[in-house]
Amino acid sequence: MALAALSACAPPIYQPPALSEPHATVTIRVVHHEVRGTLSRHETLVQGRRIPIGEREAIVQGAPLTRTVRVRPELAGWQFASAFWHSEQRLNTVYETERYPCGTQTTGYGASARSSTRYCSRQVARQRWQTVQVSDGECERGFELAPRIDQRYVLQFDYYAPGQCRARCFVRLPQPGGGFQLAPCQ
């Protein structure tokens, strides 16, 4: 998934199966061990569809974002991406096409001749202030998961630094006494 998915054109929202349909349960856990810039966004996708996960105005370092969802028991691609950036005002040169009068032209002959202003075009450099987004770091990872019916999974995404993140999958194995153990997905 390119981080273009993190732009204003968000992918459609994931629609989980109904409680009465066969499904597995996935708990998504996202932890940002480092936060950069003044603006941020995290996105989790399953089969190209977005799963909202505890959106906040700003991502808080070390504070996990979590969400539990039902998923269909079929092979699906999971993608995680986080991006941090800030905005800057920059004076940029832009080129605009400008029309200007550059003489006259005559059409027709004799008494039916008419004169009109002739226009030419030129490129003119102008200075403009523009707001640009400057990346302070991003990272994305993904994997495929074929969940089994009634099984519980934990998908963990850890963002450490620009280009340094990890996505892992664990299956919850019930233990005697009501607890559970996490084991890596196969």
pLDDT tens by residue, 141-182? 999 999 999 999 999 999 999 999 999 999 999 999 888 999
Structure tokens at 155: 């998908």
Other Cβ atoms less than 10 A from the Cβ of 69: the count is 19
Q: Is residue 71 very low, low, confident or very high in pLDDT (cuts 50, 70, 90)?
A: very high
Distances in whole angstroms, Cα of residue 10 to Cα of each of 45, 70, 125, 148, 176: 11, 21, 35, 29, 43
pLDDT given at position 1: 43
- The residues, any chain, with a CB within 8 Å of residue 56's CB and separated by 6 or more, are 65
Angle at 21 between CA 55 and CA 182, to 5 degrees: 60
Domain boundaries, the chain: 19-86+132-184, 91-129
Distance of alpha carbon 147 from alpha carbon 144, whole angstroms: 10
Question: What is the CATH T-level fold of the domain 19-86+132-184, as seen in this structure?
Answer: Immunoglobulin-like (2.60.40)
What's the one-letter identity of residue 37? Answer: G
Distance of alpha carbon 61 from alpha carbon 2, whole angstroms: 23
